[in-house]
Chain A
Amino acid sequence: MTELAEVVGDLADVIVVGSGASAVNAAVPIVEAGRGVRMLDVGIREERYKLPDGPLGELRRTDHEQHRYLLGEHFEGIGWGHMGAGAQLTPPRQFINRDADRLQPIQSASFFPLHSLAEGGLAGAWGAGAPCFVQADFEGFPVEYRELVPHYEAVAARIGINGEHDDLWPFLGELNALQPAANVDDNGRTILARYAKARDAVNRRGLYLGHPRLAMLTEPLRGREPTKYWDLDFWSDAGRSVYRPRWTVDELRAHSNFEFRANKLVVSFVERDDVVEVKARDVATGTLELHRARQVVIGAGTIGTTRIVLRSLEAFGKRVPIVCNPHTYMALLNANQLGKPIDETRHSLSQVCLVHAPAGPERPFTVGHMYSYRSLLLFRLMKDAPLPHREGLEILRHLSPSFVVLILQHADAPTAAKYCELEGPDKLTIEYALSRAEQDRIDDIEADVSASLRRVRCIKMRTVRPGHAASAHFAGTLPMSTRDEPLTTDRDGRLRGTKHVYVVDGSVFPTLPSKGLTFTMMANANRIGVGVARDS
């Protein structure tokens, strides 16, 4: 028997589904244009862990309660070497995927994604890497770089991005609204100093190093504070210096034409004449609700959005593509830093950005981020080392100031072996496999990068491939296309077969370049949001 849904609220101008990076950045231009926006989201918030103020080093020396947040109230911060999506989430960040597997189960033998029903979505724990796509990255898109430029600028002014006009500028894209680059820690500084000395030889190998673009403030912005260099960025949101989409939700809440409805898990939509009806389950009461709007913007994260769209269009048993940047983790020893002391005044995010571009910025290239191993504590390293704990601790405390974790993000494109399928209303299956040719390309890049890094005295110790979904960069299920085909979107983000339903998240990216997609996703969502505001 069909469950009846209770009609809730008046007819809204626009319903926005989700509260993550793309949803909120689509909502802003619509709200600013004066349209009434109702945002529906489960909106789980972290209430358990409140860290005291102060640098991590000081907390470790003085706070007798630090185990509560560093290890977790239930010791959930201690794991046994499991790799993959979410493996590095610290206890205060684990709310990001709370209840997601229970409320939105995924079947897979090959793909185990981190997904989120939290307020602010996955970007509640992102690494804040915020490069622009450049023209070469838009291959296969029906949108060009120049069309995104004003939206990159608008989003950068809204969220705050820091960076430097250095060797990486042609690869990370033009951006005027850029804050001064964040300070680089001792480990990163010694690598950049060595790079400056060996630049010509390193560049001849197609390797370029410089400052990363980070969505972290180095100057005050919209009530948020510049980073305090407390080294707590994996643990807390001190000063709100690192951008989280929930800061934008808070700003939107100040508008009278915006309402946020929490506890709403959107199930499906249906268009009736010029009204879109959205069914949502209240996860607190179990009630099925019916919300109505003139237009609907879906930004529930690629996997969440795909489930809603396939269910709404009753596209059961139909495979849609999925892409996801394969990641390589490379543990490096920075010989420039061996034995040297390190400054505790640092941020925890990427210190150095690396670009591997043997053919220059006009052709596809690979981007990586170099992190110093510091704030995640030594015991997390111990579990991966075959050393006895007493000697291991002694060795690691002397070597860890020279450790660098390089995360290489590889490009991805759809193939028949990467797909997503809804079998019945609730069973979402995702399978993902790389072809031999794709794997060979990754092997070649790893080998070339590792060899080139020796020129800056960074020695590879170990390579780890953390599993297919580990990057959490999911995309491509409802790609923007100029071809009028079902289960695609047009260049304005409108879902084909609908009149008033738009998709704004990673689902619409046909391919993924070797780069974090979040900033471009936000810029594209802003672009689509501007169009929705204009059309309504």
Chain B
Amino acid sequence: MRDEPTDDLRADADDLRTEALVFGRYLVGRDLNEALIERYCRANEELFAHEAPDAAVEYARRHPWAIPMLDAAEGVAGMRGGEPALLRKKLLVMTAIVETTPEYVAQTEPRSASLPALAVKLGVAGARTALHAAAGLALLAVVKRRG
């Protein structure tokens, strides 16, 4: 007789699928297909089976608008060294999955640009990073305090 999944396991699986969707939208701006969602879930089972729940991940899953800020803030916080935050690890996994998928090669392969265009792109990306990090550090403090 096959065991039915418990409610807890089903809830975990649903959470992972939600995570895959919101992280995918954050990185590539659209919904990932079913194969990539399944791949993300499997990667989580392989890599994070023993990780404790993390407030920033929970918050990011429920409030996708906060992901750019929490990601930037955890990046700044991680500059002190040590193991990266769980949110950063999970986003790295999604980045790796996206980068190794033909549909998204155009969004991840190296690009050329004229020097003025390059300066603008880097300036915009840098400014967004700084803004997100500033807002994110405040938000992260609140999220972690609420646990």
Q: Is the CB of A339 within 8 A of B115?
A: yes
Q: Is the CB of A60 within 8 A of B105?
A: yes
| Residue of B111, B114, B133 ringed by the most chain A CB atoms within 10 A | B111
Q: Min CB distance, B134 to chain A, in Å?
A: 12
Interface residues of B: mostly helix, strand, loop or mixed? helix
Partner of A62, one of B71, B102, B112: B102
How many A-B contacts are there with CB distance less than 8 Å?
129
Select the stretch in A6-14, A133-141, A394-402, A498-506 that faces chain B.
A394-402
Q: Is the CB of A61 within 8 A of B68?
A: no
Bound Cα distance A342, B112 (Å): 8
Known: A67-B97, A390-B68. A400 touches B110 (CB 8 A): yes
A residues adjacent to B (C-beta < 8 A): 57, 60-64, 66-67, 70-71, 74-75, 77-78, 80-81, 338-342, 374, 377-379, 382-383, 385-395, 397-401
11 sampled A-B residue pairs with Cβ under 8 A = A60-B100, A60-B109, A61-B105, A67-B101, A80-B83, A374-B110, A389-B71, A390-B68, A391-B128, A393-B27, A393-B95
Q: Is the CB of A383 within 8 A of B71?
A: no
Q: Is the CB of B27 within 8 A of A341?
A: no
Partner of B129, one of A62, A71, A391: A391
Residues of B within 8 A of A66 (CB): 100-102
| Residue of B96, B109, B112 ringed by the most chain A CB atoms within 10 A | B96
Report the interface size for chain B: residues with CB under 8 A from the other chain: 49
Residues of B within 8 A of A77 (CB): 96
Q: Is the CB of A397 within 8 A of B108?
A: yes
Q: Is B59 an interface residue (CB 8 A)?
A: no
Partner of B96, one of A62, A374, A379, A390: A379
B residues adjacent to A (C-beta < 8 A): 26-27, 39, 42-43, 46-47, 68, 71-72, 75-76, 78-79, 83-84, 88-89, 91-97, 99-102, 105, 107-115, 117-118, 121-122, 125-126, 128-129, 132-133
Q: Is the CB of A390 within 8 A of B100?
A: no
A-B complex: 10 closest residue pairs judged by Cβ atoms = A341-B112, A388-B72, A388-B71, A379-B96, A67-B100, A386-B75, A391-B125, A339-B118, A389-B91, A379-B95
Q: Is the CB of B95 within 8 A of A70?
A: no
Q: Is the CB of A63 within 8 A of B102?
A: yes
Residues of A within 8 A of B47 (CB): 75, 78
Partner of A386, one of B76, B118, B125: B76
